[in-house]
Structure 1
Amino acid sequence: MRCICAASLLGPAVLSAQLTVSIIRGTATDPSGAAVANAVITIMNTDTGLKRETITNTAGDYELPDLPRGRYRLTAMAAGFKGFTANDIVLESTQVRRINVPFEIGSVGAEITVTAGAAVISTDSSKIQSAFERRTFEDAPLIGDGRNPGLLLSTLPHIQQSGSIYGVQFAGQPSSQIQQGIDGMTTDGAINQVSNIHDMEELVAVPVNNTAEYSRVGFYNMITKSGSNEFHGQAHYWLRNSALDARDFFQSRKPVAKSHTMHGELTGPIFRNRTFFYVAYSGQRWPGGSFYLRDVPTVKMRQGDFSQLLNQTRRVVVRDPLNGQPFPGNIIPADRINPVATKVMQNYLPAPNLGGPDDLARNYGYLWPWPEDLRVGNYYSFRIDHHVTANNRLYGRAITNWIDYALSRELPTLGWTRNRRNQHVVIEDTHVFSPVLVNTFRFGLYHVVVDDGKTVDGFTPQKGDQVVQELGIQGVNSQNLSAMGFPRMDIAGYPSLRNQPGGLVLDDKQWAFTDSLTWSKGSHVLKFGGEIKPFSRFEGLVPEGNYGYFVFNGSLSGYGYSDFLLGLPFSSRRLDPLTNRTRLDSEVGFYAMDTWKIDSRLTLDLGLRWERFGAATYEDGLIYNWDRETGNVIVPRGKLGQISPLYPTNTISVVEGDVKQRPSLSNWAPRLGAAWRPFGEKTVLRGSYGIFIETLGLFARAQSGGPYQLTETFINSVQNGVPLFSFPNPFPAGSGNVPSQSMSGYPLNTDNGRIHQFN
């Protein structure tokens, strides 16, 4: 696949070096405009006391790479010239900031002082980038509960919301081609659960023409707050209560809504000018619940009396499936009501509590005591910055979230729960080996655990194995798996009796190891770096079909609920699942860059990146492929014995062979850019072109199921007055029908697409 994208020639804001750190560069000149060599340039972070020093080269140029964002003061000294000081330099994350030094003749004791402030335009790089400072979004009107960066991003050029409030598109590219990051640790999955805007010092987005440090076309990164030499703290509380809302013009009454969001933080020094901390807590509370209306069978129907159906415009006659004759009076005798159906009505299918005795619609209402979304959310953030030496800076940051849900299904007896745990950890080390050689190493981990079916706020959902045992249903759960669930029963005209499948939905780990080396040599600034990112995802969900799936559609007695009372499903379905499996994937990338200052007005960015996207697989090796030329299903060598005995091998050939795809090793991606200042620092013309390797997506093409896991379906019928099957044993002897098989096949030699982008 290839696509070409074009963006505007000139865009806002500033351009990047590394994923979180920035560059200050400039040129020292004398009053005639000639270069001043060997001038001593010193930069100091006025919040933390961090100092760095370098000297200008023979062309008068200097470069200070890998600086954390913040406010700086720059001083310059050279023999025979007055000292130069630039105060209040505002350096944004991933910014390339030019601070030129115009020396004047005089003694060193004399000084020229200027106030730099924030950069108005980007003068030294070609990429289009925008940034939100903390003050910008703190002063903005609150959007929602303020935790979602997607809403802020969508106010920037080239960025639109897509799909949901958490989804964004950059310059027409889908979300799969966008990397999301916190403190430079990028992920290929949504990080909305840990991206608390209240923890962020800055939000940076690059929608067009990333340089070679970046893998994807689009990238956004949130820089967390850090400490300084001063103690600071803040707290805020946001209340949402529908009692304070006006009624919508078209609504007869206001919808009820309540929520509480709070945030508190403290930041400051542990040791002045050396060690700093940031700690924060955010919380969400959603009290109250939701009211639901459902259609349930009437009290008479629960007793087998369907006489009211004879009085409808469309009469329904309930027949005895054993002989085809109507039940007298449309009433099923009490001794014909199946014991399984009786237990279901007693424990899971409530009787009406609204309307008249013959009302069939909206005759049952209930208040679910918990909200429709999360019930409780707790979000913790902690960061330590430490200057190990004058030339070594280290920081570590951890974000941990604990979120609980207690959610309703179709009926109050079938609620379900979810526990979500998110952790995002970054450790970064920046070492200045010399004024011209700087290295930054970063380690990151994004860990997500989603577990369905645990106790939340005193509520524990039913376990499918216990329900099956209680009801006495036979022929299901052959592996004796215990998890939240229910033997699903679809009764025509009424809510499905079902529950959310339970178990460990996922235990997802995304690791990242990145390193970059910056070397200033004459008019060139060379950067070399790479990243190694292994991924794993454990999946322990017990799917719905494990406890059975039964359909009562009225085909046997004339009415769905009478089929149910008789214990005669039209169809029965069961699944012997593959569970407790681990997916594996990986990504590797390396790059080399040269920022070449041709002269005082023209800067070129030359870069080359190489990518290797791994071949997703399962740790147990139970994967498959399909050969479209032969029609064969291919499984790995040694795995033929593990295909399902139900698989129709008499019609579909299954053979052993090569299954796992071979990642492409030819993913070369050049990036070119230029910034030209024809009239000094007030005007800049920027342009760039880059090739980006299209990712297939995290864990893509790791095909599950296939010939290893099949659903078995049985269709009921009555012959000579005897049904083929009924409750409590809804599965006859022998094998059921296996649905037609749909297989996907991919070429073994992966060819990633190329995206060409220019501005």
Structure 2
Amino acid sequence: MKIANLCFFALLFAGSSMLLAQIDTATVAGRVTDPTGATISQAEITVTNVDTNFVYHAKSSANGEWTISPVHIGTYRLAVSASGFNQALAGPFTLSVQQRQQLDLTLRTGAVSSSVEVTDSAPMLETATSERSQLIDSETMRTLPLNGRNPVQLAQLTAGVTISEPGARDEQGFGFSANGARSLQNNFLLDGVDNNSNLPDLLNEANYVVMPSVDALQEFRVETDSYSAEFGRATGAVVNATTKSGSNHVHGVVYEFLRNQTFDAQNYFDQTKPPYHQNQFGATVGLPIVHNKVFLFADYEGLRVSQGQTDTSLVPTALQRAGDFSSQLDLTSNTGVADCNGRATYAGELFDTKQTQVSAASPTGYCGVPFGYAADGTPSNVIPRASIDALGLKLAALYPLPNANGAGYNYVSNPKLLRTSNQGDVRVDQVLTHSDNIFYRYSMSRAPSTIPAPFPGLADGGGFFSGVGDNRAYSIAISETHVFTPNRVNEVRLGYNRLHTNRFQFNSGTDVSGTIGFPGVPYQAGTDNGGLPQMFFNDVATLGSPTYLPSNEIQNTYSVSDTFTLIVHDHSIKFGGEVRPEEFTIFQPAAPRGTLTFGTQFTDNPGSQGTGGSGLATLLTGQPAGGAINNINNVDYNRKVYGLFLQDAIPVGDARRFELRGEFYNALNHPNFLFAAAGPQNSNNATTFGSSNFGVVTAARDPRLVQIGLKLYY
């Protein structure tokens, strides 16, 4: 295995001086002929960006074919000239991500100084590649209505794509499944660099690190099948987004969108219409810093949401909180089993488990003693004060009193959901020489939120997706393209993204358990472990602070990729590689304050089990059925991912393409121990690329994951 590793790394770094990635760029190709159909060789080809005046050059080969790759997306004009022929002009035409634009031109006999403009439009059907994809351009993003203006929603327009299942952790981030794969198996790229949230529980509720606003994106392409070997990692879709660039013209927008409750219908459960205020605003600007040389694009978007939620719960009545459960006793439903005093028992009756006795007359072999009798000899279903646990009484009193009378609920609340978001991007494109251009991009997003619990005060009652949270995301991309000759182009990319997400339960900084007198709940200032244990009941809503909080997670992903394009005769060869170290820090104890379950066991009818009892009554008598508590610990781990690919397009007859990709996933490492698994370490460590016609996935015993895939297209 060590020899194989050395060979792998040698191959990776030997090619690093001339490796490619046309991940967020395009290709322009064509064929030059005369009016008789004969090919014209050595024709001069120039492709000019109409916004920046950057020019790409090429010459046609002996068979009249020419190819320019990679070409940054944008709007271009084509000029073709040859001795003895009029110059031919075509365009403007727009290139999109991963597009291969074929432009075949016929030159007329005449002087080079004369020109002929070709106005035929290019065919809309993609015939040069076999991939299945959907392009979402800037106009589509701006004009279609989007909830929250999140462009990822538009991925659902792609064939084979459906939304994530209800309740999925990426639901708020508009997660989606492609071709039946899990939403966590999609691969998000921004300007050609990794943009994936690798943290397993998605505290940020999305599969990506940052997502620029629709006014900051030039376009994105969702590729779902047969995509290029340049793409690794995913077995689902590849979401390939590109930010806007500045140009020689000053342009920008200012906007604000407002939503409120004025035109909203009242929820069925609401007693009054809850308030709702949402403001989304921002601005963009693109301009030249140095004409034809340096261009700037910057944007900002803010979001402010204040929305009343509608929560329905079943809470104890004032009588139940004091131990009076007479309302649940059904004197019309005799169980047919007598208690230890020989009296009839009924559905909903409570018993003092401490007085349970053996009884030969009982079908279970046991009989029970109720907490008391009424004057007519029937059970009172009232727990005597002497039998009520003091802590149980305090905990029951934390519930709010009923304020509604619905089917399955008696309490309605409208706590406010608060979300604030500030995000922005800055991109600088620079033309160094006629053979070198480079861009730098910095993106950031900060999104604090307060997701309310059903109950106010110390009762809480929320779940994992409640509490006070903050999502901070940062992304950096640098890409340099060097044209050695029109047939030899190299592109190197550096990328970094950081995702810091946290969520804390309400009262995380307060020793609530100590104040109430709940023993055994660990609390130390600075650990954010304040709150109550989470308590579950069979007959009323959950009480206390949720499990898996506090959560604090950090991800750092570094990426270096290099790609080389070599055009030789009819072959368009691309080969390249990537190194991607990944770091993770996860602080998320499962039950740091503990959990307790209160069922009917200890207040049920021993002679007719399942006919009586109450979880709340069990709380009042201080008899939990079970519980658990976990230590507070932090997990730090890291891994390295390596990838190599080779592909060759041969435009002879039907398009043919040969593609090969290999990926190597280093084991997950922890400072004190090693994670070991005979396969992918998590759902993100998927297979090779696209839908391989042939693939091999192996796991070594040390353990590391090696992935190899091969594709042939005709």
TM-score, normalised to structure 2's length?
0.77
Query: How far apart are the structure 2 equivalents of 1:602 and 1:300?
Result: 81
What's 2:110 paired with? Answer: 106
Distance in 1 (alpha carbons) for counterparts of 2:109 and 2:348: 105
| Residue 82 of structure 1 pairs with residue 136 of structure 2 | no
Are the aligned partners of 1:442 and 1:515 in contact in 2 as well (CA < 8 Å)? yes
Match of 2:293 in 1: 274
Change (3 A) 1:467 1:197: same
Offset of residue 139 of structure 1? 3.4
The equivalences for 1:247-266 within 5 A come to 258-266=277-285
Residue 436 of structure 2 corresponds to which residue in structure 1? Answer: 392
Cα distance in 2 between the residues matched to 1:78 and 1:360: 83
TM-superposed deviation, 1:751: 8.1
Q: Quick one: structure 1 residues 554 and 224, their matched pair in 2 at CA, closer, same or farther if it must change by over 3 Å?
A: same
CA displacement at 1:547 relative to structure 2: 1.4
Alignment of 1:130-169 (within 5 A): 130-140=134-144, 142-149=145-152, 151-163=153-165, 166-169=174-177
Q: Is the 8 A contact 1:534 1:586 kept in 2?
A: yes
Q: Which residue of 2 aligns with 1:565?
A: 620
Native 8 Å contact 2:195 2:210 kept in 1: no
Indicate the residue corresponding to 2:204 in structure 1.
Answer: none
Q: Show the 5 A alignment for 1:597-636.
A: 597-598=651-652, 603-621=655-673, 623=675
Following the alignment from structure 1 to structure 2, what is the Cα–Cα distance between the partners of residues 138 and 497?
45
Partner of 1:404 in structure 2? Answer: 448
| Pairing 1:477-556 to 2, within 5 Å after superposition | 477=522, 481-483=527-529, 485-500=531-546, 501-544=548-591, 546-556=592-602
Which whole-Å CA distance do the structure 2 matches of 1:53 and 1:375 have between them? 50
Q: What code does the residue aligned with 2:512 have?
A: V
Closer/same/farther in 2, CA of residues 511 and 110 from structure 1, 3 Å limit: same
The Cα offsets for residues 137-157 of structure 1, whole Å up to 9 and x where unpaired, read as 3334x14333142x3233233
Q: Structure 1 residue 230 and structure 2 residue 230: aligned?
A: no
Question: 1:398 touches 1:426 (CA, 8 Å); kept in 2?
Answer: yes
- SS of equivalent to 1:384: strand
- Deviations 1:503-555 (CA, angstroms, capped at 9, x unpaired): 334212333221100122233222111122222221112322x2122222243
Percent of aligned positions that are identical:
24
Does structure 2 conserve the Cα–Cα contact (< 8 Å) formed by 1:297 and 1:360?
Answer: no
2:507 to 438, 445, 462: 462
Per the alignment, residue 214 of structure 1 pairs with 231
Q: Deviations over 1:303-335 (max 9, x none)?
A: 344455557655655444544554446554546
- Alignment equivalent of 1:425, drawn from 476, 492, 499: 476
Distance 2:25 2:271 in 1: 54
For 1:382, the aligned partner's letter is: V
Partner of residue 425, structure 2: 381
Tell me: CA distance 1:427–1:312, structure 2 relative to 1, closer, same or farther (3 Å).
farther
Shift in Å, 1:476: 4.1
Report the counterpart of residue 632 of structure 1 in structure 2.
Answer: none
Structure 2 CA distance for aligned equivalents of residues 169 and 668 of structure 1: 16
Q: CA deviation at 1:430?
A: 1.0
How far apart, CA to CA, are the structure 2 residues paired with 1:426 and 1:71?
23
Question: What is the aligned counterpart of 1:585 among 639, 644, 652?
Answer: 639
8 Å contact from structure 1 (residues 464, 487) kept in 2? no
Report deviation, 1:170. Answer: 3.7
SS in 2 for 1:64: strand
Counterpart position of 1:301:
320
Q: Distance in 2 between matches of 1:179 and 1:361?
A: 43
Question: Are the aligned partners of 1:615 and 1:661 in contact in 2 as well (CA < 8 Å)?
Answer: no
Native 8 Å contact 2:698 2:705 kept in 1: no
Distance in 1 between the 2:328 and 2:159 partners?
A: 61
The verdict on how the C-alpha distance between 1:31 and 1:301 changes in structure 2, with shifts beyond 3 A counting, is: closer
Query: Is this contact kept in 1: 2:665–2:704, CA < 8 A?
Result: no
Residue 465 of structure 1, CA deviation: 7.2
Cα-Cα RMSD:
3.9
Give the CA deviation at 1:48.
Answer: 1.0
Following superposition, the deviation at residue 427 of structure 1 comes to 1.6
| Correspondence for 2:376 | none
Per-residue deviation, 1:572: 3.4
Q: Report the equivalent of 2:192.
A: 184
Equivalent in the alignment of 2:399 = 349
Cα distance change of structure 1 residues 445 and 315 upon mapping to structure 2, 3 Å threshold:
same
Deviation for aligned residue 1:40: 2.3
- Maintained 8 Å contact 1:409/1:499: no
Matched, 1:46 2:101: no
Between 320-329 and 515-524, report the one with greater CA deviation. 320-329
Asked whether the equivalents of residues 147 and 198 of structure 1 are also in contact (C-alpha less than 8 Å), the reply is no
Pick from 488, 497, 521: which aligns with 1:446? 497
Aligned partners of 1:310, 1:171: CA distance in 2, in Å?
54
5+ residue gaps, structure 2, are: 1-19, 198-206, 333-345, 357-368, 373-379, 604-612
Q: Secondary structure at the match of 1:543?
A: coil
Q: Does 1:29 align with 2:33?
A: yes
Give the secondary structure class of the aligned counterpart of 1:375: strand
Superimposed CA distance per residue, residues 543-600 of structure 1 (whole angstroms, 9 cap, x where no aligned partner)? 22x21222222433444333322333232322235x21023334322112222344xx
- What amino acid sits opposite 1:277 in the alignment? L
Q: How does 1:330-341 map to 2 (within 5 A)?
A: 330-334=381-385, 337-341=388-392
Q: CA shift at 1:485, angstroms?
A: 4.5
Give the TM-score of the pair, scaled to structure 1.
0.73
Is contact 1:617-1:660 (8 Å) kept? no
Secondary structure at the aligned position of 1:561 is classed as helix
- Structure 1: segments with no counterpart, 5+ residues: 1-15, 455-460, 626-658, 672-687, 702-745
1:674 corresponds in structure 2 to none
1:169 Cα deviation from its structure 2 partner = 3.8
Q: In the aligned structure 1, how far is the partner of 2:270 from the partner of 2:660?
A: 58
Q: C-alpha distance in 2, partners of 1:256/1:694?
A: 53
Report the count of equivalent residues. Answer: 625
Deviation at 1:695, TM superposition (A): 11
What is the CA-CA distance between 1:243 and the residue it aligns to? 2.8
Of the three residues 595, 598, 623, the one matched with 2:649 is 595
